[in-house]
Structure 1
Amino acid sequence: MRFYSDAEIRRVFTPQQALRAARQAFELLGDGHFVFYPRQVYESPTGFIGQMPGYIAAGAHRGFGVKNIVVTKARIDGLPSHNGVVTIFDPDSGMAQAAFDASTITELRTAAMSAFATDRLAAPGATTLALLGAGDQARAHLAAMLAIRPLRRVRVWSRSAESRERLLAWARRNVPAGCVVEGCAAVATAVADADIVCTVSGARSPILSGDMLAPHAHVNAIGASRPGAEELDPSVFRDATVYLDCRAACLEESSEIQRYLAQYGDAAATALRDAFDLCADTARPAPGRTVFKSVGFAAQDLVAARSIERLCQAACLPLMPA
């Protein structure tokens, strides 16, 4: 069994490749080819381990796979907050086939999911991006958004001034010439008139309300991916067309969606849409504000892992034994 490291994954899994894999995973979910298993989370005093198993029943990505990831409360400088492995198994023999750095796959495939939704829902000429949060996901989302829209202004807000300044320095080195990157002390300032908003803050209580947003804004709601965490006030969903990355997972695990439905009732539940519907070439976004709510689902990790394995083999990259 081979282990694919962070460096090997990043060498081949470009934003364009990740976007292609994200669409394939949504198609598998929509076609009923992904068998969904509930996410399991086991808590400890120092953090938790999460397990996301899944089975893809047909196509090039067929087979079992599982992501195991540990999240610790204590952060160590220079190390990611999420550490673990994605393991895929041979679809015929059941033998363990390959393992991958789960932190890297999670970072890249999450941003690619947002890019897929944004490409379908944001205005073609969207030029202003607001990032609420300044960690690894903020950096990945900036790279993903640059791959699909001609950004001319990027605004960054973070509860940590130090994290914000680190991201600003990185962004100014990596955005195209003519794109202005600036930090904001308040969420409302960052999102004012923004075409695209990515919430990747890890906040436990809402930081964004509907009255802060432009009527045409597209929001990628990413950070609050576990029960008990919220970034968006229900008013953000109320006045928007809402797409869910995986309906079963969002209804079970998203406190934001649960509170929105509790507050606004059956009509709100009926109006929720599935992101896999956006795979259809005839799909057109509704006018006004749109929201893509993501908690993640294992097909994204499994498709990404099998895609990375094929890309590395095609590039004849030397691999590290597990």
Structure 2
Amino acid sequence: MKTLLLKKEEVSRLICMREVIGTVEDAYKAFNSNQVVQPGYIGIHLPSPRGEIDFKLGYYKPNEIISMKASSGGFINNLTAHGVPSGMGTILLFDARSCALICVMDGSLITGLRTGASGSISVKALARKKAKTITSIGTGNQARMQIRAINEIMKIEEIHAWDSNPDTLSKYKTDIESEFGIPVVMANSKKEAVAQADILITTTRGKGSLVEADWVKPGTHIVAIGTDQLGKQELDPEIFRNAKIVNDSIEQCIEKGETWHPLNKNIITKYDIHGEIGEILLGKKPGRENDNEITIFDSTGMAIQDNTTSARIYQNAIERKVGTFFEFL
């Protein structure tokens, strides 16, 4: 048999953000429809100044594909020391009927795309219908990806942004205004930025509370992206006390996500978690129920998102005759 190799540039030509939003919606619905086998993911933290590498494995019964992704991040010296990016990803696809390796593809773009798509899906389900102003705490690559995805499903009138690095913040303003024509206000403080938010996005690799509870106005929808391992944190746990809490995977979020912090401090119990995003998409549980409630989407990222997205890319590659086949066996 032959295995298909897809390089980063080829992957970028094989899928668009709107299509990714669809594949991630499929993933969330499948997860809550008993169509997924998804073991807990594992991570290895390497000595400083290196970062971490995570491994996520998933099986999607309808497409009979098993995916395995290795994704690294936080290797701040990579470019100068090794000539490679600070974060990288690789995805392997196996035919579940035989477990033969059918595709090897770059996974760095997929991680960014599907994570951005997850935020936009939560906005559709949980943000106020009249939401128009976004605040971004953190202005790196994933902050940009969130805007790309949310811009597909709503009209963003203004973005307020804060970053600990003024140069990064200034570049974010230039890039976003150039790409989308959306005005970006560079906030003087986190508090100032959060106070403006209809939708609050946090995409840092923070290890402490960045957003305080009394800064968040009623009706805000929070997209919490940055916490996917123990030790990371972006939100004051008190924000969870009176909020509607939605996880991508409750099992993951109570162990490694932002939801762990209020649980650990006994601010909430597991029974205070409203549910998983897939349950809302399937109509099993309600989304936003009034304009005053604070909603939180805690996303740790799931293997099934990688599976449905990379499987679509693989299908597109076969149809368009993109990529290089090689004999693996």
Q: What TM-score results when the alignment is normalised by the length of structure 2?
A: 0.90
Task: Identify which of 151, 164, 180 aligns with 2:183.
Answer: 180
Alpha-carbon separation, structure 2, partners of 1:27 and 1:48:
29
State the 1:207 CA deviation. 0.3
- Alignment partner of 2:263: what SS? helix
Shift in Å, 1:48: 2.8
- Contact 2:69/2:92 (8 A) holds in 1: yes
Is the aligned partner of 1:128 residue 2:133?
yes
CA distance in 1, matches of 2:210, 2:225: 13
Q: Which residue of 2 aligns with 1:249?
A: 252
User: Identity across aligned pairs (percent)?
Assistant: 23
SS at match of 2:208: coil
Q: Choose 187-196 or 240-249, whichever is displaced more.
A: 187-196
From 207, 213, 217, the equivalent of 2:216 is 213
Give the aligned partner of residue 17 of structure 1: 19
2:128·2:288 contact (CA, 8 Å) conserved in 1?
no
* Residue of structure 2 equivalent to 1:189: 192
For the Cα contact (< 8 Å) 1:226–1:253, is it kept in 2? yes
Q: 2:280 aligns with which of 266, 275, 278?
A: 278
Structure 1 unaligned residues grouped into runs of 5+: none
Q: What is the root-mean-square deviation of aligned Cα atoms in Å?
A: 1.9
- Give the Cα–Cα distance (whole angstroms) in 2 for the partners of residues 236 and 132 of structure 1: 16
Match for residue 201 of structure 1?
A: 204
CA offsets 1:53-101 (integer angstroms, 9 cap, x no match): 1222x213x2211111233242527964321201110122211111222
Spell out, residue by residue over 1:176-231, the C-alpha distance to the aligned partner (whole angstroms, 9 max, x if none): 4xx32121121111121311111001111110022111201100000111110100
SS at match of 1:264: coil
C-alpha spacing 1:11/1:158, structure 2 compared with 1 (3 Å): same
Structure 1's 75 and 132: CA in aligned 2 closer, same or farther, altered over 3 A?
Answer: farther
Q: Counterparts of 2:28 and 2:265 in 1: how far apart (Å)?
A: 29
Once the two structures are TM-superposed, the CA of residue 263 in structure 1 deviates from its matched residue by 2.5
Residue aligned with 1:312, SS: helix
State yes or no: 1:111 paired with 2:116.
Answer: yes
In the aligned structure 2, how far is the partner of 1:99 from the partner of 1:70?
Answer: 17
Structure 2: 5+ residue stretches without partners: none
| Aligned 8 A contact 2:202 2:224 in 1 | yes
- Alignment of 1:142 with 2:147, yes or no, is yes
Aligned equivalents of 2:324 and 2:141: distance in 1?
24
Counterpart secondary structure, 1:53: strand
2:5 is paired with a residue of what secondary structure? strand
CA distance in 1, matches of 2:151, 2:207: 28
Matched positions, count: 315
Pairwise CA distance, 1:12: 3.3
Change (3 A) 1:294 1:311: same
Q: 2:254 touches 2:260 (CA, 8 Å); kept in 1?
A: yes
Deviation at 1:165, TM superposition (A): 1.4
- TM (norm. structure 1) is 0.92
Structure 1 residue aligned with 2:173: 168
